[in-house]
Amino acid sequence: MKKNRNEKSVRVVLKGDIFSSAVNFFEDAFIIIDSAGAVFYWNKAAQKIFGYQRKEAVGKKINRLILPRRLVNARPIETMFGFGRVRGRTLKNRTLETPAIRKNSAKEFVVALSVSYFANNGKRYAIVAAKDVTKTKELEDRLLKTANDLRKFEMAVEGASDHIIITDPDGKIVFANKAVERITGYSLKEVIGKTPAVWGKQMPLDFYKKFWKTIKIDKKVFIGEITNRRKTGEIYTAESHVAPIVDENGHIVFFVGIERDITKEKEIDRAKTEFVSLASHQLKTPLTIISWYAEMLTNGDAGKLTEKQQKYLTEIYLADRRMVNLINALLNVSRIDLGTFSIESRRIDLKKVAQDALKELSPKTTEKHQIVSLSADQKSAKINADENMVRIIFTNLISNAVKYTPANGKIGIGIKNTAKGTAITVSDTGCGIPKNQQDKIFTKLFRADNARAVETDGTGLGLYIVRSILEKSGGKIWFESEEGKGSTFHVSLPPSGMRSQKGTKGLIA
Amino acid sequence: MSMKMLIIEDEEALASVLEEKFAKEKYEIKVARDGESGMSYVKSFHPDIVLLDLVIPKKNGFEVLEEIKTNKATESIPVVVLSNLSEDSDIKKCLALGASDYFAKSQHPINEVVEKVKGVLLRGK
């Protein structure tokens, strides 16, 4: 009975008060509970946040109303609101954050609770103001994560082994990592606020003009090799990537430049190229001796030979030729794999190169009674290309056709100009490429099973070399083939012809 | 009078094939096994044509070629380079220095070499 009276008197205090009506306009939930945790007052905002009508809430334990089920037992009223531990002392206001739920929902959100206490008629009550802080909380978490991520990025950039700089749109350096000091030899103090000319300025003016045009006007990433100079005066080669970073309006905010010192790699590549060239030269001298002497013997320079002797010598001679071709192919492959070969494009006559290649193969085609046709209109045959490479392309494609086409078969070569550029086709009525091996045909050292059966002489390098040349020079190669019926290889070059490339050595035709 | 040919080639086996082949063509032949003796033959033997290898001792073929072609007395002697250095850059360098022709030895049968060298002399006449 006594309890009831007490409650009434509190209600009266609240009801008649201006304070009471104001509470209903609060955006925050405003809840009053007694020391047992039972809800005594529940404003409109509380209804909005937790989903319960005042009628439903009043008299219920607050922890059962607002906490997720998993926390109800773990957070009894005494611990949450502290009534239990205090006897006769003034309770201190407290704030706490807790996960919460709405009526009929399991979706949790975070509320911040501010709790203050008052007493009435010897009974203690708590005023609980609750605010949904899920969004604030999420924002906080996100900011914290962003800060952590940023710190990680900063550490990664700072400690990266490649030289990384950030410049303003005028090229003035605003950030440089430690590798910049290590590679250029200049301290950060010496480079911040300056331009990369501190260690650059070693390339021809034209290079820098193109460089700035690419990143500033075209707003594209620049990738290239660049010569720089360390503080000590030592020249070094770097692989440089410079990217413009643009805002949503397309204005450049800053540039990011990454450089890797590749001086050592370049030296090793050069040494490898030199070694392979030298080795191939040394190998060719004895091979020349073998072929010239075999030739002298077959010519009868040392007297007449029997038929058998002739035959044996021819085998020696042909094996020697194979060896020379193999050395040339390996030499080319080593240059392709090192990426050190040069492409020198200039105006050439495709038809003439094709005719030369055909002429060289004519003993074979005559022997096999193959019907060879070459169609090209004179105009379209003149394009910009590296003559040696075009010779390699024709020689490989046509010699494959001759090799894998039986006697009396047909071989056709076509050169045509279309709007898309130059199209070359080499077709034959030969053994074709088995379907299940077609995807491997351009792989280094690969030879199709039926090709091995038809002809033992073959390196498996020809098509690999041809495709590598075309890939590097801006062209394409593909084919159609049916086993037992024949193959057609298509080569296309863009209207501008082959793209030139600087390198240490060309390829051997 | 027969044509005088100087063969500068350090590989004896190759030099003797060339010597034998061109002797049959009635050339009067001298063989030098290095660049220095090659140069002294150029001056004393007064060849009508020089067959020149590039990788040779004492003075390399490029140097010999340059010396022949920069001396007023010898610049008109046709020089045919016979080498297994078959790089485009080597060929261009030799032609720029004044070589009449360039053959990668391993790529050509000896009979073809003989015919081509004879062709160079005919062109020169």
Size of interface A-B (CB pairs under 8 A): 52
Q: Which helix (H) or strand (E) holds B65?
A: helix B61-69
pLDDT, average across residues A267-280: 81
Closest CA to A495 of A392, A425, A418: A418
**Encoded amino acid at B56, one letter:** I
CA separation for the pair B118, B18 (Å, rounded): 13
Q: How many beta carbons lie within 10 A of that of residue A129, not counting itself?
A: 20
User: Quick check: helix, strand or coil at residue A245?
Assistant: strand
Q: Check if B82 contacts A (Cβ < 8 Å).
A: no
Give per-residue pLDDT as tens, A133-173. 888 888 888 899 988 988 888 888 888 889 999 999 999 99
Residue A2 pLDDT class (50, 70, 90 cuts): very low
Category of A232 on φ-ψ map: left (φ > 0), alpha (ψ -120 to 50) or beta: alpha
| Confidence at residue A28, expressed as pLDDT on a 0 to 100 scale | 87
| Confidence at residue A489, expressed as pLDDT on a 0 to 100 scale | 95
Q: Which residue has the higher pLDDT, A325 or A1?
A: A325
The distance of A314 to chain B (nearest Cα, Å) reads 13
Q: How far is CA A488 from CA A400, A478, B118, in A?
A: 11, 9, 42
| Confidence at residue A11, expressed as pLDDT on a 0 to 100 scale | 56
Per CB-CB distance under 8 Å, the chain B contacts of A293 are 13, 17
Q: In what order do the strands lie in the sheet with B4-8?
A: B28-32, B4-8, B49-52, B79-83, B101-104
Give per-residue pLDDT as tens, A66-93. 999 888 888 888 778 877 655 555 667 8
CA atoms within 13 A on the CB side of A57: 28
CB-nearest partner of A281 from B17, B55, B111: B55
User: What is the 8-class DSSP label of residue A436?
Assistant: G
Interchain CB distance below 8 Å, A344 and B88: yes
Q: Check if B93 contacts A (Cβ < 8 Å).
A: no
Is the pLDDT assigned to residue B19 strictly greater than 70? yes
User: Quick check: helix, strand or coil at residue B33?
Assistant: coil
Interchain CB distance below 8 Å, B14 and A288: yes
Give per-residue pLDDT as tens, B64-82. 888 888 888 888 889 999 9
Per CB-CB distance under 8 Å, the chain B contacts of A386 are none
Q: How far is CA B34 from CA A301, B9, B44, B118, in A?
A: 28, 7, 16, 24
Tell if the pTM clears 0.90, that is, is over it: no
Per CB-CB distance under 8 Å, the chain B contacts of A288 are 14, 84, 105-106
Reading the block at residue A405, the tokens are 């086409």
Q: Check if A356 contacts B (Cβ < 8 Å).
A: no
Q: Complex ipTM, two decimals?
A: 0.88
pLDDT, average across residues A285-293: 92
Residue A369 pLDDT class (50, 70, 90 cuts): very high
Residue labelled with tokens 């290239």: A224
CA separation for the pair A30, A41 (Å, rounded): 8
What does the DSSP assignment read for A281-340? Answer: HHHHHHHHHHHHHHHHHHHTTTS---HHHHHHHHHHHHHHHHHHHHHHHHHHHHHHHHT-
Give per-residue pLDDT as tens, A210-252. 899 999 999 999 998 898 999 999 999 999 999 999 998 889 9
CA separation for the pair A400, B11 (Å, rounded): 35
